[in-house]
Amino acid sequence: MKKKTPQNCGKCGLCLNVCPVYKVLKEEPASPRAKLQLIKAYENDTLSSSPLLKEIMSKCLMCGSCTTNCPSGIDHYSTFMEMRRKMVEDQGETPAIKSLTYLLAREYRLKFGAGLARTGQKFVPDLFARNYKLGNIPLKNFPTLNATPFRKAHDVIIHPDKKPVGKVVYFTGCATNYLYDDTGVATIGILKHMGYEILIPRDQTCCAIPLLFHGAADRASKNITTNINALKGHDVDAIIVDCSTCGEALTNEYPRFIEQQGQNPSEANAIAEKVMNILSFIDQQFDRLEFDPNITEKLSVTYHAPCHTKNNFNAHIIVERLIERLPFVDYKRAVDADECCGGGGTFFYEYPEVSKKMVDKKIENAKAVNASQWLTDCPVCRMNLAGNLDTDDPLKVLHPVTLIYSALKDI
């Protein structure tokens, strides 16, 4: 099917109702509809590149809501990504974002940067950590980086706790590798408990979505090739991801990117067919789980659906169903469980005022249901939600696998 372009936009305005940024700003330039018209004018040479045009294109969470709900079938997501690339090419990028894309483009740089940041966390004065913010998050609220990168701390091949029933590849992503190793430990623990042998390729790297979002397609190419080489050719039941943004990259962006380069996307397509979010995998294999019978008290739990989980895979329904199936959970759904939190990769850093309005509303509604655990399966959402809570707040944010793993029966 031919890809629909900005030229096909009927200006119906349905995207306004689902765009998180527009719902906060109530300004036409913030809407997906307006962005498409500006792109059309730019492509028709009736609008010149400018810093303002770049800012308008950047003021977007890349959540995919407009694409999912467009009656004309326009792929806003890819269109905006390509326009961002052109704007960076024309206007350049801020030093902070340039530094980020530089680090993410090579694993050794990312490893060095993470180690440096962890050392810095030990010596930051408390007063500075309380008062200084990165975007809308106080420095003191950022999670402590992993003492050892997750992949370095675990074997390449991990055997199950019982008779093997299958084999999977685990794509850990940057956040699990450097920031949230509790997610990785839980994912491995659950897969072992279910009887799966786990392969963790050593040479995987950043999924490249942040690079693509910030117009660094040239740098993203190396990451994509590295990951395809790490993931291809394995005779496994699934390629497991614990982050839906990584899942979006492997499933949709890799085949599209390879094809745009004029190359054969068959290897990328073969990988895409096997990619599965850990929570969807658990839901399918739920009967393999054995929970600790001594857990009798139910935990009150609520859930925040990340945008990529919702818009790219429609998997938030699966996740909520999975949470409700857990025998030790009392699920309390917030009224805006599937609304964006304003994290959006680096959006919380680039546009903190807009992001803050979104996340404060999320926090208010999560607290209203009186839950003790706030689950989410995106590391940036987790960072944004937890980072905007008070440090002594009883509401704790974690990945659903951590909760599930903690309740498993010892085998």
CB 241 within 8 A of CB 276: yes
Note the pTM of the prediction, 2 decimals: 0.93
Q: Give the mean model confidence (pLDDT) for residues 372-380.
A: 96
For the chain, give every domain's residue range: 6-91, 289-406
pLDDT, residue 7, reads 74
Model pLDDT for residues 9-43, shown as the tens digit of each residue: 888 989 999 999 999 999 999 999 999 999 999 99
pLDDT, residue 288, reads 96
The answer, yes or no, to whether residue 99 has pLDDT greater than 70, is yes
The closest of 193, 180, 203 to 378, measured between CA atoms, is 180
Model pLDDT for residues 198-214, shown as the tens digit of each residue: 999 999 999 999 999 99
Helix (H) or strand (E) holding 374: strand 373-375
The answer, yes or no, to whether residue 68 has pLDDT greater than 60, is yes
pLDDT, residue 3, reads 55
CA gap 27, 107 in Å, rounded = 40
pLDDT, residue 129, reads 77
State the average pLDDT for the chain. Answer: 93
Q: Using pLDDT thresholds of 50, 70 and 90, give the confidence band for residue 44.
A: very high
The CATH class for the domain spanning 289-406 reads alpha beta
Residue type, 95: P
Q: Using pLDDT thresholds of 50, 70 and 90, give the confidence band for residue 2.
A: very low
pLDDT, residue 392, reads 83
pLDDT, residue 279, reads 97
The answer, yes or no, to whether residue 98 has pLDDT greater than 50, is yes
3-state secondary structure of 196: strand
pLDDT, residue 390, reads 87
| Least confident stretch, 128-142, 229-243, 271-285 | 128-142
Other beta carbons less than 10 A from residue 128's beta carbon? 10
Q: Does domain 6-91 have CATH number 1.10.1060.10?
A: yes
Instruction: Tell me the residue ranges of DSSP E strands in 32-187.
Output: 133-134, 137-138, 157-158, 166-171
The answer, yes or no, to whether residue 143 has pLDDT greater than 60, is yes
Q: Using pLDDT thresholds of 50, 70 and 90, give the confidence band for residue 270.
A: very high
pLDDT, residue 171, reads 98
Q: Using pLDDT thresholds of 50, 70 and 90, give the confidence band for residue 1.
A: very low
The answer, yes or no, to whether residue 307 has pLDDT greater than 90, is yes
- Please name every residue paired with 134 in a beta bridge, in sequence order, or none if there are none: 137
CA gap 344, 17 in Å, rounded = 18
pLDDT, residue 125, reads 83
The answer, yes or no, to whether residue 4 has pLDDT greater than 70, is no
Confirm whether 6-91 and 289-406 share one CATH topology: no
CA gap 88, 406 in Å, rounded = 45
Q: What percent of the chain has pLDDT over 70?
A: 99
List, in sequence order, the alpha helices (H) in 150-275.
Answer: 150-153, 173-178, 181-194, 209-213, 217-231, 244-248, 254-260, 266-274
